[in-house]
Every structure is written in structure tokens, then in C-alpha cells.
Amino acid sequence: MNDSSGGDPSGRTRRRLLAAGASATALGLAGCLGAREGPVPEPTVTNERIDDGWRLLDESESAVFERTYGPATVRALERTLIYEYVSVAEALDETFDASGSPVVFFATRIDLRPALDGLPAGVGRGRLMAEVETAAVDAFRARLRSAGTDGLEEVDEGTTTVVVGHTATAWRFAGEFALDGEAPLPDGSTTAVDEAVGVTARLAVWHDGTDVLVAGGAFPSEAVTAVIGDAVPGSLDGETVVESIADAEAAAALATDPAAFDEEVSVLIVSVE
């Protein structure tokens, strides 16, 4: 389901938060190697999973930066799509009135004008790609912060191969998504829930022969209901708490195995074209 959530106030709030993060970080991104005119084509998430459970939350088009290399002035343009996993976002909204979500995904196409081959000999692909990668990591941190995931730390850097065969630089990060609310207790009182859910985030950057593509996503590294269960006293478990506040569907969404989200995000990242 790729619901645009047009009438959902919480969806609008999340759009504003993520759009603000995208605007704040756009100037940090560097970009690609095409020589086209007109708008940058939107990136395409080719795996069909993007239509099953995810919704397009926001998109942006902007002039990323303008820099001078010797006699050449380079202008970078970007187009980004931001998605969130619907069931988790809605469950957190219903349970804790949260405006963000730890399960998000984005894809960006970056176009550098003029093309790399048209730049002075002293400005090579390696230099530009290094700038792109550094800026993409910084933008990734800020974008996830806007979605509620903070304290992002790099855990690993390596490479991966995307579906069409290009090699991407890939990173894994760890962060935290804050839970802040109240949970009902059997005696009719409530208890504060002020805990952090561990988050794993993945990012990849590659050159497809024309453009630079950036794709990344994040997901809980532990079941959200397990964290809720640890936060409440007695023998209450997290699923029971969520079900008492929202419903069984919300409880099931927040009890999802992190491995399922990891597979989902990883498959989507390498499918971007």
C-alpha cells in the first residue's frame, strides 16, 4: 500500500519534520555526473516491496550547491523521495502521539552539471565522489534526526553491489529513537515511558554511469514492544500495553522482528535506479 496520507494530520506533521530535515541538509549534498537539461528525474525504487506497507511521505527538488573548480562552475541538483513504514508510524502515533518513526527509507538522485568529463583535468571522479560520500553521510544523520532517530554513530563501512551491478560504498550506523509517553497500569493508574529504542541504519552511495544515487533507511534493532515492556513495572508485557492504548494491530506492528525490517530496507536500497 502506497498511501499518500493526504488527510492524516500526523502524516502532515511527519512530512513537515522530514521536509525540514531535507531542506536543512540539501546544501550538504554533492552530486553527479550527468549533462542533461531540465529537471532531475526522480529516483526509482524498483522493488515491489515499496508498494506494500510503505507510503511516500515527502519529496524534494533543489539546487544542492554551486562550486567553482578552476575555470568551471559546477552546479549540483537533487531529487529525493522519502518513505515511512505505515503500520509502525501509525502505531507510534496512536500509542505515544509520536510525530516521527524509526522505520524510514529514502532515495536521492544527484546530477552534477556540467558532466564530470567536462571538468578540468585536475578535478577527477575520485575527488567528487569522496565529497559526495562525506556529504551524504552528514545529510543522512540530519534526515534521520528529523524523523526522531538521534545519536547516530558509524558502526561499519564497506561495499555492496546494487541490483544493476554497480558497486556502492555502504555504511551501517547505530542510533536511538526516543519513546516518551504514558502507559496504563492494571490498578487504573499510569506510568511514564521514557526509553530509547535502538535503531540500525543503512546507507549506500554509488555512481550509475550518469548520476550519483544515494539510498538509505533505518529500522529498530530491537522490538519496540520489548522496550515498552522493560519500561513498565510488574509483569506487564509491551504488547499488552500497546494493545490497551491502541489495538492489537498496533501491538503487532511494534512487535515486528528487527530482522524483517533489516531485510526490507536492505532490499530496497540496492533496488534504487
The pLDDT assigned to 124 comes to: 63
Q: Provide the residue range defining the domain that includes 98.
A: 9-270
In a domain, 4, yes or no: no
pLDDT truncated to tens, each residue of the chain (273 aa)? Answer: 333 444 454 454 454 444 444 444 443 343 333 457 889 999 999 999 999 999 999 998 887 777 776 677 777 788 999 999 999 999 999 999 888 999 999 999 988 887 666 666 656 667 777 877 888 888 899 899 999 999 999 999 999 999 999 999 999 999 999 998 888 777 778 888 899 999 999 999 998 988 889 999 999 999 999 999 998 887 788 999 999 899 999 999 999 999 999 999 999 999 999
Cell 558502526 belongs to residue: 155
In a domain, 165, yes or no: yes
The pLDDT assigned to 60 comes to: 86
In a domain, 3, yes or no: no
Angle at 21 between CA 268 and CA 263, to 5 degrees: 20
In a domain, 228, yes or no: yes
Identify the burial level of 174 via C-beta atoms within 10 angstroms of its C-beta, where 0-12 means exposed, 13-18 middle and 19 or more buried. Answer: middle
Grid cell, residue 9, equals: 494530520
Tally of domains within the chain: 1
Grid cell, residue 218, equals: 533505518
The pLDDT assigned to 118 comes to: 63
Instruction: Please answer whether residues 81 and 45 qualify as being in contact, where contact means their C-beta atoms are separated by less than 8 angstroms.
Output: yes
pTM for the model stands at 0.83
In a domain, 2, yes or no: no
Q: Is the bond preceding residue 114 a cis peptide, omega within 30 degrees?
A: yes
